[in-house]
Structure 1
């Protein structure tokens, strides 16, 4: 990763500092509910690597729910990802930096090293720049090469700000309710073809997000 210059680095540090505290306060000021926590518990009992996934627009919910679980997170090298990567790092996430377009080979090797040691990695399969809700190959290859379990996780809040960009990025407003929901485990061992596995992941991610949205509709 090419380092940012001193001024850019200072700006990112300031944005990350204020963003960290602002989001931490917002999540603290919401009542939070966890649905299907047993799916997370079941995944960990299998003693295998875990790929945690959600659509890019909902990434704040896993970031603020699993930050004490010793997980890694994958983030791109572009400037848009820099602030959230630094915020996640402040929360306790161990960051892997790269994407299919920049640093892809290097970060894939790092990702497999973590997974092959039965690590837990969070990623957004439609990131870093879309198309929205379209599964990219990284999660498929990672699961197949490491025998990882895929576990969708999403979230929603009773009152939100929604950024009007490609992923419809969601930020909770304070003084409301937040729901985190774990989807059903998707095990690569249960599928006879890559296409079946890909479709199963997408369907479960879509279902998980639809289920959490239904709490507030």
Structure 2
């Protein structure tokens, strides 16, 4: 009951929360930039705990974000749209009809082929943390889209005691974007091997210090 009330209150406050996040994002002193304009039809892969940081970094870029169909996804969906993202509701888990899996994958395939860039939290929506689920590599193989591993670090931040260890930056802190080696999946490639490659690259980015952004 309390959780339901919190969710309903958060939905009511969505415009205010989104406005505060916009202000927060503008205070962050980003130490490096990324040219989103050079990308066409790529998949940005990130850990769920990095979702807020990367949302603040990529505001108003027209990126498509995959958002869970779970109830908590309503909040994320509302915030992301107000931060200038497009959203698709569902999951990339193949065959998970109850999670909107097939519908979401078909929509993402269409958007990627149209040149849209798509962001996916590869260990979401409920974990386990830092374990890549196979949906993202399946999508890349089907579309030929390259996967761009990405990670955000902040000089000062709060790491919540949630399953994903969500990172919330302090205002006016310094921030870094780490981008890893792009991963391309051919028709004959083994999905499990590519999944391990992506997971290893994301873990490598997670371990980097803020002094040497990729």
Within the candidate set 85, 91, 116, 2:83 is matched to 91
Pair 1:60 & 2:52 matched: yes
C-alpha deviation, 1:10, in angstroms: 6.7
Return the TM-score normalized by structure 2. 0.85
Q: How does 1:107-186 map to 2 (within 5 A)?
A: 107-186=104-183
1:197 Cα deviation after fit: 1.2
1:73 counterpart residue number: 65
Residue 58 of structure 1 deviates from its aligned partner by 0.6
So what's the TM-score if we normalise by structure 1?
0.84
Distance 1:192 1:180 in 2: 29
SS of the residue aligned with 2:87?
strand
CA shift for structure 1 position 191: 7.5
Decide whether the 8 Å contact of 1:61 with 1:180 is kept in 2. Answer: no
The corresponding residue for 1:50 is 42
Q: Could you say which residue in structure 1 is the equivalent of 2:205?
A: 208
Unaligned runs of 5+ in 2: none
**How many residues matched?**
203
Unaligned runs of 5+ residues in structure 1 are 1-6
CA distance, structure 2, for counterparts of residue 190 and residue 155 of structure 1: 31
For residue 3 of structure 1, what is the aligned residue in structure 2?
A: none
1:34 maps to: 32
Q: In structure 1, the residue corresponding to 2:151 is in which secondary structure?
A: strand
Q: Which residue of 2 aligns with 1:25?
A: 23
Distance in 1, matches of 2:10 and 2:103, equals 24
Asked if the contact 1:15–1:83 (Cα under 8 Å) also holds between the matched residues in 2, the reply is: no
Superposition RMSD in Å:
2.5
1:16–1:84 CA contact under 8 A, matched in 2:
no
Conserved 8 A contact 1:158-1:178: yes
* Structure with the largest fraction of helix: 1
